[in-house]
Amino acid sequence: MDAKFLRAAPYADDEMNLPVENVDAAIPFYESVMGFVVVSRSETPHKSAVLDRDDIRIGLAENGGDPSQEGCFFEVNDVEAAFAELRSHGLDRQDAGYRIDRHGETSYRVFFIVAPDGLCYCLGQRQA
């Protein structure tokens, strides 16, 4: 069973403007490993693409930003299913390295991945 992505929260300003060096080179990872679908592309004001999955939408953009300083937190309904799904789709990693992180009064069981484009993602499931 695949995990459901419930929410995207950017580390900095805007999950619709995540910086990548090359949109076309970045997209295959999001489609094949992360399960996103490209819903639109644009050339202005810079080359970009909008990707959808479940209840979330993100945007990749050749905007001159530093991908190593940006990314998103993805809340998922099942963090173990999310890791298993990504591995089954080609994520080359054996151990998720789960940990518990707190945000305000809420705890999440999380793991991190870094996309080939340099963007970092935290996937987490809310804990009771």
Give the CATH number, domain containing residue 78.
Answer: 3.10.180.10
The reported pLDDT for the residue numbered 15 is: 96
Per-residue confidence (pLDDT) for residue 38, from 0 to 100? 98
pLDDT (average), residues 70-86? 97
Question: Is the per-residue pLDDT at 1 higher than 80?
Answer: no
- Mean pLDDT along residues 46-56: 96
Q: What is the pLDDT of residue 128?
A: 87
Domain count, the chain: 1
Q: Tell me, what's the pLDDT at 20?
A: 97
- Which residue's structure tokens are 């080939």? 116
Helix (H, G, I), strand (E, B) or coil at 88: helix
- Of the pLDDT bands very low, low, confident and very high (cuts 50, 70, 90), residue 2 is confident
> At 30, is the pLDDT very low, low, confident or very high (cuts 50, 70, 90)?
very high
pLDDT at 107: 97
The span from the CA of 54 to the CA of 57, in Å, is 8
Q: Do 23 and 60 touch, CB atoms closer than 8 A?
A: yes
Alpha-carbon distance of 99 to 119, in angstroms, equals: 20
pLDDT in tens, 53-69: 998 999 999 999 999 99
Per-residue pLDDT at 70 exceeds 90: yes
Position 90 scores a pLDDT of 96
Contact 47, 98 (CB under 8 A): no
- The whole domain housing 79 covers 5-126
CA dist 124 and 108 (Å) reads: 6
* pLDDT at residue 100, as a whole number: 97
